Structure formats: C-alpha cells, structure tokens
Amino acid sequence: MTQPPTWLTAGYPHIWLPYTQMQTAAMPEAVVSAEGCRIKLADGRELIDGTASWWSMCHGYQHPHIVEAIQKQAGELSHVMFGGLAHQPAYNLATRLCQTVGMGLERVFFAESGSVAVEVALKMALQYWRNLGEPKRNKFICFKHGYHGDTVGAMSVSASGEFNRAYDNLTTRNYTLDIPSDEYSFAEFADTIAAIKGTVAALIIEPLVQAAGGFKLHSPDILSEIRRVCREHDILFIADEIATGFARTGSMFACHEAAIEPDILCLGKALSGGHMPLAATLTNAKVFNAFLGTEYEKALMHGPTFMAHPIACAAANASLDLFEREPRMAQAEALEQKLWDGLKPYRTKQGVVDIRVKGAIGVIEMNTDAENNQRLRAEFIAQGVWLRPFGNCLYLMPPLTISDTELEKIFTAIGAVLK
Ligand SMILES: Cc1ncc(COP(=O)(O)O)c(C=O)c1O
C-alpha cells in the first residue's frame, strides 16, 4: 500500500475534523480529484460514491457545465458584498428559483449553508409574529428524528441526540412531537396543536424523508394533513428541503408530491449542484409583507458576509440549466426501482431491521450500533465504494447520474461487507 501524501500526514496534527473522535478515528482518505460518480484517491484507487458528498452532488462531480459557469464567473466577479450592491447571478437565480419552486413562494434570502438557511427561516417566523404584535408566539413545533443543522437555532428544533446533547445550555427546547402515522395518532397530534397554538410561531419539518435523524419516511397524505392543521391554527409551516430538494425524493421538491404550499422553504446542498456552498430561504408574500413598514426594526436582521456569493449563484444557475436540459427527473424516478431491486434481498438477512426506499434514497436499517461504522466504512473502501453508514443506517444517496454498472458495484460491495 502506498504511503499517504505528506500534506495529509504533516497537516493531520493541525486539522479538526467534523463529527470525529480525533483520538481513535482512522486517517481520512486523501482525494486528488473526482469526476462523475467517482472519487480518485492519492494512491491511485477510485471509489464509487454512494453518498453524493453529503447528498449534494446531484449531477456528479466536476460537471463540465457547472465548472465552466464557475470559471467564467470567477473571471468576471469572484465576490462582492450583497449589502447595498447587487449582481446579476443572484437576481437571476432568485427569479429562476421562484419559478422552479412555485408553491406561492416569491422571495429568496440567500445564505452559505443549510444550517444558516434554517436559522433565517426561524428568525423570519419569530419576527413575523413580533411584527404583527404577537411576540408570545415564539415556540416551534418540531419532530422526533428531525435534523435541521448544527447551529444553535437549528439544533433547538432538531431532535435531541448525539448531534446536540453537549450543547443543551445553548439550545432552547421546543415542542418535539411524533410525526403521526395513522388516523388515531393524527387526532392526538391535532389536539396537541390546538392546545399549544397560541405559543407557536411555526412548525418545521423535513417533508417526506427525515434524513440525518434516521432516514424515516412519512406519506404525502400525512404531510398534507399536518399542513392543513397548521393552516387551521395560523401556524407558519416551514419545509426544510435541504436534503429532499432537487429531485432527491423523486419529485423536484417533496412538497410538490404532497401538493402543499409551505410558508417558508429552506434549500441547500444540491442547490448549487453540490459544487459551491449555497443555501436559500424562500417565503411567500404573507410572511414578506409583515416585514414592510417605515420602522427599520421591522426589517429582517440577517446578512452573512458571503451571502449570495456570485460564483455559488453562477453554479446554481448552471445546475438549474441541467435540471431543465438533462433527464435528471427521469433518472431520480428510475433510481427508486433500482434501489429497491438492489436492497430488497437484504430484507430477510439477519441483523437487518428494515429496508426503506424513496426516490433516490435507499436505506438499510440495521441492528447494530454506531461503533461498527468506522469498520464498515473501511470495508467499503476496500471494495472500491464510498459509503458512510451512520447511526444504525446504511444509506445510499448517490449522484442522480450514477450508471447501472456503478450502482451494481455498490450493491456487490454491500453484499460483500454485510455478509
Ligand atoms: C434537512 C437538513 N437540514 C439542514 C441541514 C444542515 O445543512 P448544512 O450541513 O449545509 O448546514 C442538513 C444537513 O444534513 C439537513 O439534512
């Protein structure tokens, strides 16, 4: 085996890695390039990516159309502050996003990460009620298994667990409910909402698929009933489509499948085709108009230094081109059957609790604990595949462009590792 490159070994004592026990974790793999669905390592090996780099790389790595847009934009205007100055990539993107998203959402606030897009959504909801003279509506309804990011507000509306336990002192607890699964639990849910409505600013949900909190699915019918109850009690409805957006669930947006219109929508990850950090919070006229007036205090108080970064916006515009001109939706839809076919044989395997598939998301829930994951990752790498099981789930969320041969290689690797 070739030695890791010196930049990796010499830099390792200085780097602090995400979600990593630095004392026991294996050295990460050194990547030199990536193309399509393949990640090339410094020692010449190639890994087929089953994760789309934390679910962002929907068109595959180094898509030539996106790379060209990035290079062109970098040559013209690499960055300029968004306060008091404007640039075309952001304005064009806002227009195109509203057209693509629909659902009555007509204003876009840009940020640089999904967590910050969620913070902005929460701030919008709180200030909406404050501006309307109802500051006591300041709590959120969120869900067990929900995950909305790692910043303080986002942690406060995520389920309590390993991602946020250590930071209890920073977070505020909100109303954490079960997503109802049937008529009976729905009635209980509706009663709870009716009882607490006067204190609630908004409900936040990952529509159809709760991702990082355990890859749990719920039906479009349940989602639309939750939406209906929010409307009934005038509770703002925030859809966090940072993971589900851009065809991941088989529809362009999960809310489209349930035919619902959120008041606020969070996007990130695949927004730039995964090529640049970019996120967005969209809202409707009802919310936006509550911020208008002559008092400065009524304005939304948020403005990240790198918001609406021109190169990131150029990448996102190029990504939308690809959704328009390449068969991305058909690829996402087709992946659902392929993932079923590939994962179904594990349903009866010892140690497998459940197999779940939705659009381009496939999950094997296992009867193991997270301690095994480091070993599993290493075994997948040995098989030439990049999969990153976490918690008790082994999930596949590959680039939507993955070929049948590449997918087959991932299934073969799963077979070898889980035997
Ligand atoms: C549903 C959801 N919301 C928010 C986030 C946070 O996004 P980011 O990691 O870009 O801050 C994630 C990330 O996994 C997510 O899945």
pLDDT of residue 1: 64
Distance CA 281, CA 266 (A): 5
Q: Which H or E element spans position 335?
A: helix 328-343
- The token pair that represents 91 in the structure block: 């304005």
Q: Which atom of ligand 1 is nearest to the CA of 118?
A: 4
pLDDT the model gives residue 43: 96
Distance of CA 397 from the midpoint of ligand 1 (Å) = 14
Q: Is 278 in the pocket of ligand 1 (CB under 6 A)?
A: no
Q: Write the residue with the smallest CA distance to atom 8 of ligand 1.
A: 114
Amino acid letter for position 330: A
Candidate list 12, 19, 91, 167, residue with the active-site label? 19
The three-state secondary structure class of 95 is helix
Residue whose CB lies within 8 A of the most ligand 1 atoms, among 208, 269, 395, for a mutation test: 269
Which atom of ligand 1 is nearest the CA belonging to 115?
A: 11
Q: Are 291 and 265 in contact (CB under 8 A)?
A: no
Where do you find CATH 3.40.640.10 in the chain? 64-325
Q: Is 244 in the pocket of ligand 1 (CB under 6 A)?
A: no
Residue 248 has a pLDDT of 98
Any atom of ligand 1 within 6 Å of the Cβ of 149: yes
* pTM check: above 0.75: yes
State how far the Cα of 145 lies from the Cα of 162, in Å rounded to an integer: 12
The answer to whether 131 and 167 have CB atoms below 8 angstroms apart is: no
Pick the CATH number of 6-59+330-418 from 1.10.10.10, 3.90.1150.10, 3.40.50.150, 3.40.50.300: 3.90.1150.10
Q: Ligand 1 mean position to 149 CA, how many Å?
A: 5
Q: Residue ranges of the chain with pLDDT lower than 70? A: 1
- Tell me, using a 6 A CB cutoff, whether residue 203 lines ligand 1: no
Element (H, E) at 132: none
CA of 75 to the centre of ligand 1 (A): 30
- The domain 64-325 is placed in CATH, from the list 3.40.50.620, 3.40.640.10, 3.40.1710.10, 1.20.1070.10, at 3.40.640.10
- Residue (of 386, 365, 344, 328) closest to 50 by Cα position: 386
For the chain, the first-to-last Cα distance in angstroms comes to 25
Q: Which of 344, 363, 276, 284 is nearest to 316 (CA)?
A: 276
Question: Length of the chain in residues, anyone?
Answer: 419
Between CA 71 and CA 396, with CA 65 as vertex, the angle to 5 degrees is 115
Residue closest by Cα to atom 6 of ligand 1 = 149
Rounded Cα–Cα distance for residues 311 and 77 (Å)? 8
- With beta carbons less than 8 A apart as the criterion, state whether 47 and 385 touch: yes
Q: According to the model, what pLDDT value does residue 370 have?
A: 75
Q: pLDDT tens digits for 30-50? A: 999 999 999 999 999 999 999
Q: Mind listing the pLDDT tens digit for each residue in 58-89?
A: 999 999 999 999 999 999 999 999 999 999 99
- Our answer to whether residue 269 is catalytic in this structure is yes
Rounded to whole angstroms, how far apart are CA atoms 51 and 59? 12
Residues of the chain with CATH 3.90.1150.10: 6-59+330-418
Please give the pLDDT value at position 162.
85
Residue 301: phi and psi, rounded to 5, are -95, 80
Burial class (CB in 10 A: 0-12, 13-18, 19+), 214: buried
Beta strands in 160-317 (DSSP E): 175-177, 200-205, 209-210, 216-217, 236-240, 264-267, 279-284
In this prediction, residue 368 carries a pLDDT of: 81
Is 282's C-beta closer than 6 angstroms to any atom of ligand 1?
Answer: no
8 Å CB contact between 60 and 37: yes
Residue type, 258: A
Pocket flag, ligand 1, residue 241 (CB < 6 Å): no
d(CA 79, CA 242): 24
Atom 4 (ligand 1): residue with closest C-alpha? Answer: 148
Ligand 1 contact, 243 CB (< 6 A): yes
Q: Is 61 noted as a catalytic residue in this protein?
A: no
What is the pLDDT, as a whole number, of residue 197? 95
CA distance 326 to 246: 13
CA nearest ligand 1 atom 2, residue: 148
Q: Is 268 in the pocket of ligand 1 (CB under 6 A)?
A: yes
Task: Measure Cα distances from 145 to 160, 185, 391 in Å.
Answer: 8, 17, 12
Residue with tokens 């195109």: 96
Asked if residue 204 has its Cβ within 6 Å of ligand 1, the reply is: no
136 included as an active-site residue: no
pLDDT at 372: 86
Residue 272 is predicted with a pLDDT of 98
49, 61, 128, 147: the catalytic one is 147
